[in-house]
Amino acid sequence: MNPTRPLASFALAALFVSSCGGPSQPSETSIAAAKEAARAAADRLGQELVAALGEALGKGGPVGAIEVCQLRAPQIAADVGAAGKVKIGRTALRVRNPANAPDAWERAGLESFAQARAGGADLSSWSATSVEATADGFQLRWLRPIVLQPACTVCHGEELAPELVAELAKRYPQDAATGFKPGELRGAFTATVQLDG
Ligand code: HEC
């Protein structure tokens, strides 16, 4: 099965609608460059988050690391995005921070990833893309699955330390991001890149 298929139809619809009198369509080259920029930004965000988490866990344990996650995650995402002119972040079907909740396109992508994962698919090379027309021209949307690793279960797993539960309840009263098993879909990196035309 082609992993990008469920979303490819959205991309076509967006292109079709915008072809009626809108700006000329973006070139394959600019789409390819935007995908590469999104991929690079997600790689960097992932690496920097893991490094920041590792350092914080070493210093203050999981309870201390929560604060680092809360404060640093959006900051790192903003820095990484600004460097590559990419809007980059993380989202999920079940979020800890409501600010990370998916929009309709992200939700559709996450649902297709989750379904594939539940069916045993290896998502390591998956991503979904869509080209959308906006008032400022075309933009590429890009989504890449994040599968839960064993190390993530400290804060997203089925059994959390009581002091961690207390801290999470304080900072994230609507936390829905626990109860995950390693190997399950945890969420996705999500990126938006403006296309040159
Ligand atoms: C020290 C505790 C901790 C660990 C360990 C941890 N996380 Fe998180 N995670 C958080 C916190 C806190 C947030 C909310 C960050 C925010 O406010 O944006 C979060 C948010 C997320 C989000 C964004 C969606 C949401 O729920 O808001 C994803 C995706 C995510 N984590 C995946 C992972 C993965 C994958 C790992 C393992 C590599 C991991 N986390 C390890 C604490 C942790």
Beta bridge partners of 146: 187
CA 9 to centroid of ligand 1, rounded, Å: 31
Is 49 a pocket residue for ligand 1 (Cβ < 6 Å)? Answer: no
Among residues 80, 86, 188, 85, the alpha carbon closest in space to that of 128 is found at 188
CA 84 to centroid of ligand 1, rounded, Å: 23
Whether residue 133 has pLDDT greater than 90: yes
Q: Whose CA is nearest to atom 22 of ligand 1?
A: 90
Residue 18 lies in a domain: no
Residue 47 lies in a domain: yes
Structural domain of 176: 26-119+126-194
pLDDT averaged over the chain?
89
Q: What is the pLDDT of residue 19?
A: 45
Least confident of 5-19, 21-35, 128-142: 5-19
> How far apart are alpha carbons 110 and 186 in whole angstroms?
9
Q: Which residues contact 191 (CB under 8 A, 6 or more apart)?
A: 37, 38, 41, 42, 81, 86, 87, 88, 89, 140, 141, 142, 143
Q: Choose which residue among 91, 93, 152 to substitute to test ligand 1 binding: the one with the highest number of ligand atoms within 8 A of its C-beta.
A: 152
Contact 191, 87 (CB under 8 A): yes
Q: What is the pLDDT of residue 90?
A: 97
Q: What is the pLDDT of residue 42?
A: 96
Contact 147, 187 (CB under 8 A): no
Residue 19 lies in a domain: no
> Residue 196 — pLDDT band, cuts 50, 70, 90?
confident
Q: What is the pLDDT of residue 83?
A: 85
- DSSP structure class, residue 3: T
Residue 137 lies in a domain: yes
Whether residue 172 has pLDDT greater than 60: yes
Whether residue 105 has pLDDT greater than 80: yes
Residue 44 lies in a domain: yes
Contact 45, 142 (CB under 8 A): no
The pLDDT tens digits for 18-47 are: 444 455 789 999 999 999 999 999 999 999
Q: What is the pLDDT of residue 15?
A: 44
Is 134 a pocket residue for ligand 1 (Cβ < 6 Å)? Answer: no
> Residue 143 — pLDDT band, cuts 50, 70, 90?
very high
Assessment of whether the complete model's pTM goes beyond 0.75: yes
Is 186 a pocket residue for ligand 1 (Cβ < 6 Å)? Answer: yes
Is 69 a pocket residue for ligand 1 (Cβ < 6 Å)? Answer: yes
Residue 69 lies in a domain: yes
When divided into structural domains, the chain yields a total of 1
Residue 7 lies in a domain: no
Percent pLDDT > 70 in the chain is 88
Residue 149 lies in a domain: yes
Tokens in use for 43?
């790689």
